[in-house]
Structure 1
Amino acid sequence: MKTIDIDQLKVSIYKDTEEMGQAAADFAADKINSAIDDRGLANLILATGASQFSFLKALKQKEIDWAKVVVFHLDEYIGLSDSHPASFRKYLKDRILDEVKPSQVFLLNGDAEDIEAEIDRYSQELSDRSFDLACIGIGENGHIAFNDPPIADFNDPKLVKIAELDDACRNQQFGEGWFPSFEAVPKKALSLTIPAIMRCKTICCVVPDERKAEAVKNALFAKISTACPATILRKHSNTRIFLDTLSASQLDMF
């Protein structure tokens, strides 16, 4: 394992995805347990996608009193039911939530009849809480949640919004095997905004795989701008980024 500090970030590189996931889960479990010790409750935001497989597998094995954890998530496609194979609600239920059984779970309903009312509902639930930890990834286009470069806003006044997904983002979803064709990937999703993520006390960012290497390099070294939304993480006071050797392969210092 190698670690370097970049601006306010601590970046750690591990030999493989399994080791990376275990380390990220150790870090996340420590933050969750510290919040429970301090306040009797931890508020947590979880990400989805192929990048989170090893992390979530490891996290559910940690010693955590999940009866004292409240879980939210980052995003959900508009128009997909929670039984669709690509639904992020289904993803989280299948991979961790149904097993660990948190105290409360708040999931974005992408097939709600009234999307604006759903945005209002979720925004209110978010605004009523302070969040101890957000577990996120970085997309191939540099997005965090579904804040793709064309619509990312570092000063967004909203906590949740409708995100228009760019082609790079939709190609990633197709390439990961969630949809049978590019055309089947929805063009819109509900997403937490960048300020909603940045207000969390700690951010645990898990980014494996060579296909993320350019986005990782940009996130760490490009000018902080919405051209690569993940660059804003360098402004957060307590973010840890977990990489494997493939996602770190374009970082010359390693």
Structure 2
Amino acid sequence: MNIRIFNSADELGEAAAKEASNIMNGKIKENGKVRIVLSTGASQFEFFESFVRQSIDWSKVEMFHLDEYIGLPVAHAASFRKYLQERFVERVGIGKVHFVNGELEPESHIRQLAEEIARADIDLALIGIGENAHIAFNDPPADFETTDPYLIVNLDDNCKLQQVREGWFASLGDVPNQAISMSVQQIMKAEHIISCVPHGVKAGAIRLALEPGVTPVIPASILKQHKNWTLFLDNESSSGIARS
């Protein structure tokens, strides 16, 4: 585990984008391609602004999407497909994209995603951490055991309230109850994991995740077991942890 702390979300996003670029360019040089996983959300805005400006041969990049609400149209402001399309895909000319599509029949779509992601290893996963310490949409208590790459999950009220506070939905009742999410075990299979977690609203989740022990009640705590996990924080999100 490597923790890096910056003065602002902008500095954090730029540093994380450069780190991601270095890993990706190394894999492209080594293998001629790179496979990545991308997260979304308000906490990732600054990262994406820097990420799309990196010098990467995007035609050699294959991207997998972490999660999406079941039944939510792609035109909805909260759609993560819309988020990635506008903030990433349309700006870089990426080689191949695997979106999670919550408008398709979930079970068959999950099988299709599982087949695609199993074709080769994931080199890099960009994994955010929610206010309730979720990773992807694996809310507490998260399933740490399933080896299925994707699964249907029920969203808890804390997760839904975060989406409302961030302005994606007008009210709690507007947030879908279920989503398709990449599983915890699939996330942990990535060779490298980078987590960009700025802003004071995440300070509590970060403090809990970094306390001793690993528990499904704090899903992000499992990231400590990954040998190549780098956590990017700013002054606000790191305010609850001891700093040397």
| CA offsets 1:29-61 (integer angstroms, 9 cap, x no match) | 001101100000000110000010000110000
Among 120, 131, 136, which residue is 1:129 paired with? 120
In structure 2, C-alpha distance between the alignment counterparts of 1:200 and 1:165, rounded to whole Å: 24
Contact 2:147 2:186 in 1 (8 A): no
Amino acid corresponding to residue 199 of structure 1 in structure 2: K
Gaps of 5+ in 1: 1-8
Residue 6 of structure 1 corresponds to which residue in structure 2?
Answer: none
Among 142, 160, 176, which residue is 1:186 paired with? 176
Residue 218 of structure 2 corresponds to which residue in structure 1?
Answer: 228
Among 148, 173, 179, which residue is 2:163 paired with? 173
In structure 2, C-alpha distance between the alignment counterparts of 1:122 and 1:212, rounded to whole Å: 30
In structure 1, C-alpha distance between the alignment counterparts of 2:199 and 2:215, rounded to whole Å: 23
Amino acid corresponding to residue 210 of structure 2 in structure 1: L
Residue 29 of structure 1 corresponds to which residue in structure 2?
Answer: 21
In structure 1, C-alpha distance between the alignment counterparts of 2:131 and 2:170, rounded to whole Å: 19
In structure 1, C-alpha distance between the alignment counterparts of 2:236 and 2:91, rounded to whole Å: 30
In structure 1, C-alpha distance between the alignment counterparts of 2:88 and 2:66, rounded to whole Å: 15
| CA offsets 1:76-134 (integer angstroms, 9 cap, x no match) | 0000111111000000000011110111111011011x210001001111111211100
Cα deviation, residue 154, structure 1: 1.7
Cα deviation, residue 185, structure 1: 0.6
Amino acid corresponding to residue 75 of structure 1 in structure 2: D
In structure 1, C-alpha distance between the alignment counterparts of 2:212 and 2:11, rounded to whole Å: 27
TM-score normalised over the length of structure 2: 0.98
Q: Please state whether the residue corresponding to 2:91 is helix, strand or coil.
A: helix
Residue 103 of structure 2 corresponds to which residue in structure 1?
Answer: 111
Cα deviation, residue 157, structure 1: 2.4
Amino acid corresponding to residue 108 of structure 2 in structure 1: A
* Residue pairs, 1:135-154, within 5 angstroms: 135-150=126-141, 152-154=142-144
Residue 34 of structure 2 corresponds to which residue in structure 1?
Answer: 42
In structure 1, C-alpha distance between the alignment counterparts of 2:62 and 2:243, rounded to whole Å: 39
Gaps of 5+ in 2: none
Cα deviation, residue 222, structure 1: 4.2
Aligned sequence identity (%): 43
In structure 2, C-alpha distance between the alignment counterparts of 1:118 and 1:175, rounded to whole Å: 30
Amino acid corresponding to residue 22 of structure 2 in structure 1: D
Cα deviation, residue 180, structure 1: 1.1
| CA offsets 1:65-84 (integer angstroms, 9 cap, x no match) | 00000011100000011111
Contact 2:196 2:231 in 1 (8 A): yes
Residue 79 of structure 2 corresponds to which residue in structure 1?
Answer: 87
Find runs of 4+ consecutive structure 1 residues off by over 3 angstroms: none
In structure 1, C-alpha distance between the alignment counterparts of 2:42 and 2:89, rounded to whole Å: 17
Is residue 2:83 matched to residue 1:69? no
